[in-house]
């Protein structure tokens, strides 16, 4: 089979990767995608790096056995920081695209600005983020905050309402008013972006890495001659959870604009 006709796997610990899948299907509407959320093992953030690496490698191996993917998008900042090098070594030369907090984009758009990065504890403690923060410079003031509770809200599909609002208001109260940007450094967080944007106010820009990751995926497929020659656009949703509601919710989240 022509490798270009094979699907692209999109992997996350749970529902978060759907925010990336949305951008991928916009950027590459003719491609076939298999979305896999490891909801049975979510959240990844509080786990050890080794556990996250193992879960990511094992899940990708099972997906490869079933789908022989032509490329994989690790639509999870946490799994990217824990496993991207190992995945690239294992699947070379196939493109393995990761995601990282959009801190560089935030610093480019707000030189010297005050930027808050929201992510998981693993993303923030890993070397990859330290390197990113060290390179950003431009005299920005960068605040970081691990928010495991926010992942849990999204996994429960509690995307707005008084409890989410109280949590986010409390979180923002710890930082100076008038932040220039908030980086959504976990793919679950764009699902609470409307509430966060309202609380942060119109002068704070919310940024995430989903669109950049989708563009990067297109570039990598093009470079390796892997763009689908004939459009298809099939979408398969998979989850490690035995609860059928989980897949139904994934579809709903994907279809919600």
- Chain residues that interact with ligand DGL, rule: CB under 6 A: 12-14, 16, 42-45, 76-78, 120, 123, 151, 186-188
| Nearest residue (CB) to ligand DGL, 128 versus 138 | 128
Distance separating alpha carbons of residues 211 and 97, to the nearest angstrom: 13
| Nearest residue (CB) to ligand DGL, 102 versus 172 | 102
- 10, 21, 28, 76: the catalytic one is 76
Q: How far is the CB of 232 from ligand DGL (least distance, A)?
A: 27
| Nearest residue (CB) to ligand DGL, 16 versus 226 | 16
Q: How far is the CB of 152 from ligand DGL (least distance, A)?
A: 9
- 186, 192, 196, 246: the catalytic one is 186
Q: How far is the CB of 252 from ligand DGL (least distance, A)?
A: 18
Is 140 labeled as catalytic in the residue annotation? no
Distance linking the first and last C-alpha atoms of the chain: 35
**Residues belonging to the active site:** 76, 186
């Amino acid at each position: 089979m022509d490798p270009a006709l094979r699907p692209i796997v999109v992997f996350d610990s749970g529902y978060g990767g759907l925010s990336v899948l949305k951008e991928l299907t916009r950027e590459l509407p003719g491609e076939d995608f298999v979305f896999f959320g490891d909801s049975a093992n979510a959240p990844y953030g509080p786990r050890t790096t080794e556990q996250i690496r193992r879960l990511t490698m094992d899940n990708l191996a099972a997906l490869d056995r079933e789908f022989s993917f032509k490329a994989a998008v690790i639509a999870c900042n946490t799994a990217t920081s824990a496993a991207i090098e190992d995945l690239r070594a294992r699947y070379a030369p196939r493109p393995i695209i990761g995601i990282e907090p959009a801190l560089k984009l935030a610093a480019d758009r707000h030189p010297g600005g005050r930027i808050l990065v929201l992510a998981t504890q693993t993303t923030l403690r890993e070397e990859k983020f330290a390197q990113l923060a060290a390179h950003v410079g431009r005299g920005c003031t960068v605040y970081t905050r691990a928010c495991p509770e926010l992942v849990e809200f999204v996994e429960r599909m509690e995307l707005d309402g008084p409890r989410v609002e109280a949590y986010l208001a409390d979180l923002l109260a710890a930082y100076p008013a008038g932040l220039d940007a908030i980086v959504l450094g976990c793919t679950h967080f764009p699902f609470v972006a409307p509430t966060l944007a309202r609380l942060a106010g119109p002068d704070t820009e919310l940024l995430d890495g989903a669109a950049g990751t989708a563009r990067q995926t297109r570039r990598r497929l093009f470079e390796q001659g892997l763009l689908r020659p004939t459009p298809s656009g099939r979408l398969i949703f998979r989850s490690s959870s035995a609860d059928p509601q989980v897949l139904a919710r994934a579809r709903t989240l994907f279809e919600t604009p």
